[in-house]
Structure 1
Amino acid sequence: MVFKLDGRAIKQMDKLRRNFLWRTRPNFGKAMPLVNWSMVCRPKHHGGLGILDIRRFSRALRLRWKWYDWIDKGHPWAGSELPCDKEDLALFSACTLITIGNGLIARFWHDHWLDGQAPHTLAPDIFKLYSRKRISIHEAITNQKWVLNLHHIS
């Protein structure tokens, strides 16, 4: 899912899925579930039925957008706003390790390349002053104007 669903929508979808599994006749009301829903959502090799947990699966799909944005800039949506919220981005940052390489892909201010942190969180005052917020690490290092601006600030 590209968009994050609110809790009510997920709850309603899960209700429909539970009713499909546990209701024997449509007019009999609620049936007693024999297995906890979280157990049903586990993979088959872990004793579940392999039914997807909508909340977790949609987060995984949104993080895939972030991953594709990172590894391949040739997609039609490259450079557009990603459907990830702050929690998604925090999870992505916690689960990935950035190798700078030539610095063409990693963004100087926003990626967590400096001791596991993003420079915009380490130096928020300097970040506010600098106008090019989406600059790559390569551009930041090779741009003499950038170095001079930092000297004038300090």
Structure 2
Amino acid sequence: IPLGGLGVRDLARTSLALRTRWLWFSRTDTTKAWAGLDLQFDADERAFFFASTTMQLGSGTDALFWEDRWIGGRSVREIAPLLYACIPKRRRKLRTVVDGLADNRWARDIQGTVGIHEIGQYLQLWHRIAGTTLSAEPDRLIWRWSANGVYSAKSAYTATFAGSTTCAAWKLTWKHWAPPRVRFFHWLAHLDRCWTADRLARRGLQHPARCPLCDQA
């Protein structure tokens, strides 16, 4: 109830949670029939997935050098945003960590105009990844909203409420002895959804001059 009034899930948040599921499986399960397809996701879905995941580095064969958060829980985009902007989009999606670290190939991905600020971030990134060591263990994508680090629709839906404030008014509405219609009216009033005269006025609506049922003013 605290997350949805009448217990009906927020459809926009539910859609975001379920769409994120495909992003998760596209990175963690290559046995699916749709693996490798160019699935389309909007900016909000990708941003939510990015904020919800970190990469535990192992062999570096699955971790993406430019995209994943593999540098102490942070990504190149967060550490060196100006340098990241100099990397072609196609290269961002293909360059793995193991490939990028070999002979410092990641430096060859930098294109376009490189100014003093980009050079500063380049040196900063160089020092951050200089001591990176790989192992024989597979890379592991970690979902930050669950204890076991694995995605679940429930944890994703709950995560969309992170930072929201709670209100105890729902207890007065639903944990009360009043008849259901009274509680429902209180819920509408709390959400400012009652069609009162002032609300009608704000929406530019007016009451009819005469009653349509009894034809009286």
What TM-score, normalized by structure 2, do the two folds share?
0.41
Residue 97 of structure 1 aligns to a residue whose secondary structure is strand
| Structure 1 residue 55: Cα displacement | 0.8
Distance 2:75 2:104 in 1: 24
| Distance change in 2, residues 1:132/1:83 (3 Å) | closer
| Structure 1 residue 82: Cα displacement | 2.9
Q: CA RMSD in A?
A: 3.3
Distance 2:4 2:107 in 1: 56
Identical aligned residues as a percent: 26
Letter in 1 for 2:98: H
| Distance change in 2, residues 1:89/1:118 (3 Å) | farther
**Higher Rg:** 2
What CA deviation, in whole Å up to 9, does each residue of 1:68-87 have, x standing for no partner? Answer: 01211222222322332111
| Structure 1 residue 131: Cα displacement | 6.5
Matched residue, 1:20 = none
Corresponding pairs, count: 107
| Structure 1 residue 146: Cα displacement | 1.8
Match of 2:42 among 58, 78, 85: 85
Distance 2:52 2:104 in 1: 34
- Which residues of structure 1 form unaligned runs of 5+? 1-34, 41-48
- Contact 2:91/2:109 (CA < 8 Å) preserved in 1? no
Matched residue, 2:83 = 123
Moved over 3 A (4+): 118-122, 130-133, 147-151
What CA deviation, in whole Å up to 9, does each residue of 1:101-153 have, x standing for no partner? Answer: 1111111112222351234835135414x9733111112123x38267379x9
Match of 1:71 among 22, 28, 38: 28
Matched residue, 2:55 = 98
- Contact 1:62/1:83 (CA < 8 Å) preserved in 2? no
Residue 98 of structure 1 aligns to a residue whose secondary structure is strand
Matched residue, 2:105 = 146
What TM-score, normalized by structure 1, do the two folds share?
0.54
